[in-house]
């Protein structure tokens, strides 16, 4: 097969304890999946149908990365999240089969241009400029589910320059991991290599140039990034 120009290198995430990498297919994100975060964003944290948005696969950046501060924003926010990495996909996946699709888990940060997202919301437009920009999906190495099983609880936190900004527990998720996979597969054909960012606890806030951001999830791992 010949191409007009060389294809882009595939996006990938490291896997803890092995030399092989996890190839990234798509990145899905769940909106408002923690009650306290929904409240701080002015929403009602009930169990209405979950909603999803996407980031490009090449938005992934790794632990220890130095990032340029994003352009065209005066209000960049951090959102610490549990990331689910899929090894199998499908359509209309049942609740009982959902966890069989999971390869492992990672720590992720959903970087958000909050001002651009807010403006898009007011005009009823898509959020792409606020969510799906370059380097907007930092992700730690994946810890295989064979090593930790499937987490139902555990602390999730984020520090900026050593100050705790976000702190919660995975058990606070409104929609649990099997439900997220089930609901998402009703909308999209899921595939091996998909990453699912599962929502953030309360405490999201602004970042600026020079900030050192450090996230951690109990039994999963840690993720650090620095803004130039």
Paired with 6 in beta bridges are none
Tell me if 2 is assigned to some domain: no
Q: What's the pLDDT at 41? A: 55
Say if residue 37's pLDDT is above 70: no
**From the centroid of its chain, how far is CA 175?**
15
With respect to residue 4, please indicate whether it lies within any of the assigned structural domains: no
Q: Is the pLDDT of residue 48 over 80?
A: no
* Predicted pLDDT of residue 32: 87
pLDDT bin (cut points 50, 70, 90) of residue 35 is confident
Question: Domain range spanning residue 132?
Answer: 12-227
In this structure, what CATH number is given to the domain that contains residue 199?
3.90.850.10
Whether 1 maps to a domain, the answer reads no
Distances (CA, A) of 215 to 98, 123, 180: 26, 32, 22
Residues 78-107 have pLDDT tens digits of 999 999 999 999 999 999 999 999 999 999
Q: pLDDT category, 55, cuts 50, 70, 90?
A: very high
Question: What does the H/E/C string look like for 152-214?
Answer: CCCEEEEEECCEEEEEEEHHHECCCHHHHHHHHHHHCCECCCCEEECCCCCCCEECCCCCEEE
How many angstroms separate the CA atoms of 188 and 30, rounded?
13
pLDDT score of 45: 64
**What count of other Cβ atoms lies within 10 Å of the Cβ of residue 36?**
14
> Would you say residue 3 lies in a domain?
no
Model confidence band, residue 73 (pLDDT cutoffs 50, 70, 90): very high
Residue 5, in any domain of the structure: no
Nearest-5° Cα angle at 78, 114 to 213: 145
**Is the residue at 134 inside a domain?**
yes
pTM equals: 0.96
Percent of the chain surpassing pLDDT 90: 92
- Are the beta carbons of 139 and 215 closer than 8 angstroms? no
Instruction: Kindly state whether residue 138 falls inside one of the protein's structural domains.
Output: yes
pLDDT digits (tens, 9 = 90+) for 102-150: 999 999 999 999 999 999 999 999 999 999 999 999 999 999 999 999 9
How many domains is the chain built from? Answer: 1
At 43 the pLDDT is 60
Q: Does the residue 171 lie in any domain?
A: yes
C-alpha 228/C-alpha 222 separation (Å) is: 20
């Amino acid at each position: 097969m010949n191409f007009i120009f060389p294809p882009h290198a595939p996006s990938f995430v490291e896997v803890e304890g092995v030399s092989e990498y996890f190839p990234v297919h798509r990145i899905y994100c769940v909106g408002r999946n923690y009650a306290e975060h929904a409240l701080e964003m002015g929403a009602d944290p009930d169990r209405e149908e979950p909603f999803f948005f996407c980031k490009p696969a090449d938005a992934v950046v790794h632990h220890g990365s130095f990032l340029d501060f994003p352009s065209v924003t005066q209000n960049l926010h951090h959102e610490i999240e549990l990331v689910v990495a899929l090894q199998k996909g499908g359509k209309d996946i049942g609740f009982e089969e959902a966890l069989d699709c999971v390869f492992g888990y990672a720590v992720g940060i959903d970087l958000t241009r909050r001002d651009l997202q807010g403006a898009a919301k007011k005009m009823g437009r898509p959020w792409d400029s606020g969510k799906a920009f370059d380097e907007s999906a930092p992700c730690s190495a994946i810890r295989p589910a064979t090593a930790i099983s499937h987490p139902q609880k555990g602390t999730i936190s984020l520090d900026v320059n050593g100050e705790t900004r976000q702190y919660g527990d995975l058990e606070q998720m409104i929609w649990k991991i099997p439900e997220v996979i089930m609901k998402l597969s009703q909308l999209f054909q899921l595939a091996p290599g998909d990453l699912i960012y599962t929502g953030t606890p309360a405490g999201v806030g602004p970042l600026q140039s020079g900030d050192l951001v450090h996230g951690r999830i109990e039994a999963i791992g840690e993720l650090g990034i620095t803004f130039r």
